[in-house]
């Protein structure tokens, strides 16, 4: 299948950019206006403690400016993501980052001044003014973090560092998404097939011809190997920035610094890793079933996505929206109708693969925009599942923005992956009970285990172990080199896959360089805790427990109005214990049992 240029993509399958800004000129004007308005928030510096009215006006002015900056930043990032070869979009990203850094620095005085006012006086003021009382949770969180908030001058400098600290991530993104040109893959008849970021994961690794999978895997990872020193230097720089922030904010470790932001105890991270290591035999059983079904002497990394179903199940975009909508009916008509309209009318989703489109999928927007989705939809079960996943994020954002003030319009990555994986769990629960076609059921289960679970419950915990070790080495002052990262990654995957999977150490050792997630410190483990929370909550609804759907919708509407673990506990799951992780492994074993029955 040839990949079209961006200009050839049907507009109905592109994101509704004009709903945000009608043109790049309008975007440019908005950016200049934000920079011009920076003094309007700086004028409150040093005055927030005068009285409740001044404090409220200052906080509202900061929020208004941040909201506008957020929308401008989002627009540039999204425009670049759908076409990384567009130099104008790349330039917009640079301008947006610079602007956001200036806004961030200009508003950095807020927290130090709130701390200076003191909790007692703020409590009195919040009792006097209902509008000020809205900020109670954020103020509580600030004083919880008081020991790690520095002076106004230091906070301003830390804010200004946001732009340069983003350099390694931006450099890597430009390198792998715009500059990398991959050697074509070859099928068993010698025909060459183009390898791009947008077709590698979604098409080539799932190809029934093993020669295609092997040569695509080798081409993709050999290009990363060719630039391994640059890629390693960029990641090492990002990790160094994390260590710097840890020390600047007076934490003992980067892990504690990262988890502290969401008020998540380190035990949650270690519970996940320990349970994952204990349950590796479940994965080894699945790998062996996959080897037998594929009739291979040895299964390799690139065989993990090989199709087991006899023929590919074709699911057009509109049909996928139908399946997803039907599966989410327990959440009510408002939820389903909003989702359908977003997909089919309001153009939330940029779905068609095109040249220059960034690899992967994500949901992104701001309270002033739609919750947009970028992905490469390829008319199969995997694409349908990815769409369900990203719609979980988008509906989470939509309901949060609709029900929360700007102060709580965001939510942590920790809860984000619960909402996305919930949609996939509900979709599988519905389809496994309603679809009769054996081939469809096999495709659905292999996508669940070999796709979703393999990524979130195998690759991500393994990457989390890699991330912890590389950060600990940096904290100890040990050098992070391409070779040391490569060896560590290969060792962790060798342990994870077990003795019956063949490991190509040089190429598998470069898997870390294919995950941009590692530039967001301690992000990847949250995929695994997220999928655990998702299955715990979806199981309650699928079992028909009283108020389960209402409780889940309450979670989606909460945003950051409470701490992540508290929001989830209220919805019905406690992630401070390993129970949800263990229960999700049990769900996966159920899928494996069903797969074994279907394939005989």
Domain ranges across the chain = 6-165
Angle value at C-alpha 68, between 169 and 90, nearest 5 degrees? 35
Q: How far apart are the first and last CA of the chain?
A: 33
Give the pLDDT confidence score for residue 1 in this predicted structure.
59
Give 359-404 pLDDT, tens digit per residue.
889 999 999 999 999 999 999 998 999 999 999 999 999 999 999 9
**pLDDT score recorded for residue 197:** 86
Report yes or no: 38 and 102 within 8 Å, Cβ to Cβ.
Answer: yes
Contact 496, 280 (CB under 8 A): yes
Nearest to 396 by CA among 373, 427, 428, 430: 373
Distance separating alpha carbons of residues 533 and 527, to the nearest angstrom: 10
Alpha-carbon span 100 to 106, nearest angstrom: 10
- 326 contacts: CB under 8 Å, gap ≥ 6: 430
The CATH H-level (homologous superfamily) assignment of domain 6-165 is: Oligopeptidase f, N-terminal domain (1.20.140.70)
Q: CA–CA separation, 350 vs 525, rounded Å?
A: 27
Q: How many CB atoms lie within 10 A of CB 184?
A: 12
Measured distance CA(383)–CA(369) in Å, rounded: 24
Instruction: Mention every residue, 6+ apart, whose C-beta is less than 8 A from residue 141.
Output: 263, 563
Identify the segments of the chain with pLDDT beneath 50: none
Give the predicted TM-score (pTM) of the model: 0.84
**Has 218 been annotated as catalytic?**
no
Choice among 206, 390, 446, 447 that is catalytic: 390
Please list, residue by residue across 557-572, b when 16 or more beta carbons sit within 10 angstroms of its beta carbon and e when fewer do: bbbbbbbbbebbeebb
pLDDT, position 560: 96
């Amino acid at each position: 299948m040839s990949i079209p240029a961006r200009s050839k993509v049907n507009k109905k399958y592109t994101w509704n950019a004009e709903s945000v800004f009608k043109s790049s000129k309008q975007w440019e004007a908005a950016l200049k206006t934000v920079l011009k308005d920076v003094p309007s928030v700086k004028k409150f510096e040093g005055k927030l403690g005068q009285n409740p009215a001044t404090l409220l006006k200052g906080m509202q002015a900061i929020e208004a400016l941040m909201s506008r900056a957020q929308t401008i930043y989002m627009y540039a990032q999204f425009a670049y993501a759908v076409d990384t070869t567009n130099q104008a979009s790349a330039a917009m990203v640079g301008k947006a980052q610079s602007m956001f850094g200036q806004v961030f620095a200009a508003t950095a005085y807020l927290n130090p001044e709130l701390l200076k006012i003191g909790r007692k006086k703020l409590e009195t003021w919040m009792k006097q003014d209902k509008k000020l009382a809205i900020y109670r949770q954020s103020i509580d969180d600030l004083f919880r973090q008081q020991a790690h908030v520095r002076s106004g001058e230091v906070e301003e400098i830390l804010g200004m560092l946001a732009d340069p600290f983003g350099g390694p991530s931006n450099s890597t993104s430009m390198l792998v998404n715009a500059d990398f040109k991959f050697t074509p893959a070859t099928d068993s008849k010698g025909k060459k097939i183009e390898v791009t970021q947008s077709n590698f994961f979604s098409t080539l690794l799932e190809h029934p011809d093993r020669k295609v999978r092997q040569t695509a895997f080798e081409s993709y990872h050999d290009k990363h190997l060719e630039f391994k020193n640059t890629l390693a230097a960029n990641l090492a720089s990002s990790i160094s920035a994390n260590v710097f922030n840890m020390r600047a904010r007076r934490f003992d470790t980067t892990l504690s610094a990262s988890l502290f932001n969401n008020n998540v105890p380190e035990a949650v991270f270690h519970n996940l890793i320990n349970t994952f290591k204990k349950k590796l035999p479940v994965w080894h059983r699945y790998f062996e079933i996959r080897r037998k079904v594929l009739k291979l002497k040895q299964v390799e990394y690139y065989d993990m996505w090989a199709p087991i179903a006899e023929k590919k199940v074709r699911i057009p975009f509109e049909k996928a929206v139908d399946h997803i909508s039907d599966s989410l009916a327990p959440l009510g008509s408002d939820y389903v109708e909003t989702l359908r309209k977003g997909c089919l009318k309001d153009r939330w989703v940029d779905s068609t693969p095109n040249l220059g489109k960034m690899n992967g999928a994500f949901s992104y927007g701001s309270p002033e925009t739609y919750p947009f989705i970028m992905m490469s939809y390829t008319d199969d079960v995997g694409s349908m599942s990815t769409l369900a996943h990203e719609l979980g994020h988008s509906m989470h954002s939509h309901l949060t923005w609709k029900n929360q003030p700007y102060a709580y319009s965001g939510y942590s990555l920790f809860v984000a992956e619960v909402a996305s994986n919930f949609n996939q769990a509900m979709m599988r629960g519905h389809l496994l009970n309603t679809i009769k076609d054996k081939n469809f059921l096999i495709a659905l289960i292999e996508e669940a285990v070999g796709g979703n679970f393999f990524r979130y419950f195998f690759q991500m915990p393994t990457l989390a172990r890699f991330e912890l070790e590389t950060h600990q080495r940096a904290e100890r002052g040990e050098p992070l080199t391409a070779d040391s990262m490569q060896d560590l990654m290969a060792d962790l995957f060798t342990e994870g896959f077990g003795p019956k999977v063949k490991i190509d150490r040089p190429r598998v050792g470069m898997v870390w360089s294919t995950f941009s997630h590692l530039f967001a410190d301690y992000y990847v483990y949250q995929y695994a805790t997220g999928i655990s929370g998702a299955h715990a909550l979806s199981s309650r609804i699928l079992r028909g427990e009283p108020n389960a759907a209402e409780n889940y919708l309450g979670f989606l509407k909460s945003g950051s109005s409470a701490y992540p673990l508290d929001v989830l506990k209220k919805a019905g799951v406690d992630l401070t214990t390993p129970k949800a992780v263990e229960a999700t492994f049990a769900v996966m074993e159920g899928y494996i049992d069903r797969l074994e029955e279907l394939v005989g």
